[in-house]
Structure 1
Amino acid sequence: MKKTGLRFSLFLFCIITFLQACKKDDNNSPSQAIDASNWGSFVPVSWYNLELKLIKETPGFTPPVAARAIAYTSITLHETVVRGMPDGTSLSGQLDGLSYLPYNDPEARYNWAIAANSAMADILRSLFGNASSDNQALIDQLEVDNQLELTSSEFTQEDIDRSIDFGKQMANAIYLWSASDKGQAAYLDNFPASYVPPVGNGLWEPTPPLFQSAMLPYWSKNRFLFSSNKNIINQIAAPPTYSVNPTSTFYQAANFVYETVNSLTQEETYIANYWADATGTFTPAGHMLAITAQLVKDNNLTLDIAAQLFTQVGIALNDVAIVCWDCKYKYNLVRPITYIHKNINPAWNGKIGTPPFPSYVSEHASFTSATGTILGAYFGTSFSFTDNQKVSDGFSPKTFNNFQDMIDEAAYSRVYGGIHYEFDINEGKTLGKSIADQVLTLKF
């Protein structure tokens, strides 16, 4: 009897010890969970590489539309990952209209890289609803491949399912928020027939050889992501007064474009083509994303830092496009090719095709200045790097001593191409920096 009682006591002790151990493990599992800083950046980089392909191959993804998609993809990434950043700050309440987002269970474990993978897959499905069936299949496949790569014994299937579900909830919430910004369906109608451009001296008119109608004339009506950027609209100086007098500032600016294109060096011609990023490419906004993704990968940034940097660039690109397009259709300024044909040489042509919207201010200069300013804030203003993103298009890698060199070259490429005046690019660079400076005040 005594032996039986002893055995029972030992058995009971083992059971209690086991249960206490289980309870201890359960209570500690959230605090022991791996936070976002423990993962690398391969998940977002893989998705942005696919997004660049989608921008190239999906109808309607012109530069502002591409910038918008990049922004919402990045915000989805950040808002998913920030829950796994002990000192991170959500953008909810900081971005215009972004208020209600899913909450993770603080008592549960999450694989934040898997959550990010799920979120980015779903947001791209939603943003690129008109992607080809082949590209839709690529989204499905990348989601599966990444998840298999990330699955490990450290996380139970329940943890993985919870992470996937949270990512999908976040993507859905961000997409619903995006639908109210007035830009959701723009990829279906970049050239609205309802817009009739004003007519008059110095005003934009369709340019050769395609003579397309005005692209995205209502884009400036879109909601800013960061409402502080609205104020920058009123800080943009007006372009020089239109004049055909050969001694006027305007004539001299147009003649400078004319003379510059007529005397381009081989290197300047190369620069004009390198930065063209026209229809069928990843666009100027995509080029900025591609450089960002390359630097994130090359410098082995962790998931949390990568999410912040991508989101800063994305927000800046989106809001730059709104201010830039506001200027374009506020001033409706004639393009250099039209002015030169009428007042200098009717047989002249630029080095690259003129896009179908007004001249002032330069979109290229604006996008590049905003992105370069943000990248410089993180990597440093003297950081040198090589842009490898045009190699597949037949260009050699391009090395820059710093981000300002990149900004200046990309901006000036539009003068070399014959599609912008110098004052277009100078004010564009100012605009881009102003937007970036505002975005850098956001708390992450």
Structure 2
Amino acid sequence: MKYNGLRFSLFIFFAILFFQSCKKSDDVVPPSTVDASNWGSFVPVSWYNMELKLIKETPGFAPPVAARAIAYTSIALHETVVRGIPNGTSLSGQLEGLNYLPYNDPELRYNWAIAANAAMADMLRNLFGNASADNIALIDQIEVENQLDLTSTEFSQEDIDRSVDFGKRMANAIYLWSASDKGQAAYLNNFPSSYVPPSGNGLWVPTPPLFQSALLPFWGNNRLLYPENKKITTQITAPPAYSIDHNSDLYKAANLVYQTVNSLSQEQVYIANYWADAGGTFTPAGHMLAITTQLVKDNNLTLDKASQLFAQVGIALNDAAIVCWNCKYKYNLLRPVTYIRNNIDPTWTSKIGTPPFPSYISGHASFTGATSTILSAYFGNDFSFTDNQKVDDGFSPRSFNTFEEMANEAAISRVYGGIHYDFDTNIGMNAGKAVAQKVLTLKF
């Protein structure tokens, strides 16, 4: 995004002042006098529930923007808490451009839950710059209430103040770093007028019913958090070539969508709607965060373990979004509704609304593929669970025997909904999994 001259100058000025108070972090963090495993996960759980509310209610937080916010919140949480994890490893030096972070004195006492509380509160204030006044007030309220709940005689007021200060300095450092990734203010302009979509047979055009212009067409150029994920963008093969021949791969794929939507069972309709996660919801990326948050709470993860898992999920979601959007606007493949109306049935419509961006690859499949891989690595390949996160939206809890099963259902839901070809979801799933496998090689 572009800054005006004054804003950019002020940013550079304060960045210089800030970095003068920071040092380049070593890979291995010195042990603290108080272990972060002494606390449960209620602080991050409370803040991620607030972040999900913000994603729903704040304009401009489309799926990639939501994934970005989740990622930076999670990195700030991890980098604050890792100072209290014996033999914990900072992400500094591992993530692109993340080199200078605040220094904590390992000889002094910190309440790591209070530090995390301060860090996450400031991250949400910064990342959701256009949040409503009511939600900003709610952030203030949660921060105060959490700190009161965490205050004990074990820590002096000096310890508490030191912890709050460290959390806020960490949040400031992560936010300053985030500002250079090209996505900082995208929530203010999801549909940049400077983008002119290419035209031609087989290329994306706005779709019914809203016929919106292209959403976040430059997102694929953003900085990936983990440099290793750059390789994945070059490994995704092109979609089937455009053809109206009935024997062509694209015609067969479009006809499969057409036939599937026209013969959906009641259960398949339910699945399509369950995973729609469209505008006004917590988005597909938020749905993955909601499930992760539920699992962290239900399984009583300690603060140290929770911070590591949230960081892995957040980084994977962010990079999966960038890889996916890079592919979408590289190939600009038309959506099924366009192909079907032009070549099969001019009156046909999808079961759920088609989002305003190219078809290949599927974002939902990318997000769920990435998250299912991270969660499987932590909880196991045979871990069964129930997703309770859409009860408030009128859906029944949905149970799965494995995370893979969840991801497969989420992916096929887009074909049931009529908004993706099956190859969109298959390749999207593989791309998300590949991103997550790279993230799992990071040291925490």
Give TM-score, length-normalised by structure 2. Answer: 0.93
CA apart distance, 1:34? 2.9
Deviation at 1:330, TM superposition (A): 0.4
The equivalent of 1:438 in structure 2 is 438
Matched residues in 2 for 1:220 and 1:262: separation?
A: 34
Question: Is structure 2 residue 101 aligned with structure 1 residue 97?
Answer: no
1:162 match: secondary structure: helix
For the residue of structure 1 that corresponds to 2:386, the secondary structure is strand
Aligned AA (1:345) = D
What is the CA-CA distance between 1:107 and the residue it aligns to?
1.5
**CA distance 1:443–1:32, change in 2 (3 Å):** closer
Give the Cα–Cα distance (whole angstroms) in 2 for the partners of residues 334 and 368 of structure 1: 23
Matching residue of 2:244: 244
Structure 1: gaps of 5 or more residues: 1-29
Match of 1:215 in 2: 215
Give, as a single letter, the amino acid of the residue that structure 1 aligns with 2:98: L
Residue number in structure 1 paired with 2:369: 369
1:34-433 to structure 2, matched below 5 A, reads 34-433=34-433
Matched position secondary structure for 1:386: strand
Q: CA deviation at 1:237?
A: 1.2
Q: CA-to-partner distance for each residue in 1:88-122, whole Å, 9 max, x for gaps?
A: 00000000000000011111100000000000000
Q: 1:165 to 1:151 in 2, by over 3 A?
A: same
**What is the rounded CA distance, in whole Å, between the counterparts of 1:147 and 1:62 in structure 2?**
31
Residue 255 of structure 1 and its aligned partner are, at CA, apart by: 0.3
Residue 44 of structure 1 aligns with an amino acid whose one-letter code is P
Alignment partners' CA distance in 1, 2:46 and 2:39: 14
The one-letter code of the counterpart of 1:409 is: E
Partner amino acid, structure 2, of 1:354:
T
In structure 2, C-alpha distance between the alignment counterparts of 1:235 and 1:373, rounded to whole Å = 19
Amino acid at match of 2:380: G
RMSD: 0.9
Counterpart amino acid of residue 217 in structure 1: P
Residue by residue over 1:149-205, the C-alpha shift from the partner in whole angstroms, topping out at 9 and shown as x without a partner, is 000000000000000000000000000000000000100100000001011000000
Q: Secondary structure of the residue that 2:429 maps to in structure 1?
A: helix
Aligned length: 415
2 CA distance for matches of 1:204 and 1:119?
41
SS at structure 2 position matched to 1:433: helix
Deviations 1:345-397 (A, max 9, x none): 11111110000000000000000000000000000000000000000000000
For 1:14, the equivalent position in structure 2 comes to: none
C-alpha separation in 1, matches of 2:242 and 2:200: 11
Task: Give the Cα–Cα distance (whole angstroms) in 1 for the partners of residues 112 and 298 of structure 2.
Answer: 21
Matches of 2:104 and 2:164, distance apart in 1: 12
**8 Å contact 2:41–2:302 — kept in the other structure?**
yes
**Max Rg structure:** 1
In 2, Cα distance between the equivalents of 1:87 and 1:105? 15
Give the counterpart letter for 2:74 in structure 1.
S
Give the superposition deviation at 1:32.
8.7
Q: Distance in 1 between matches of 2:244 and 2:154?
A: 72
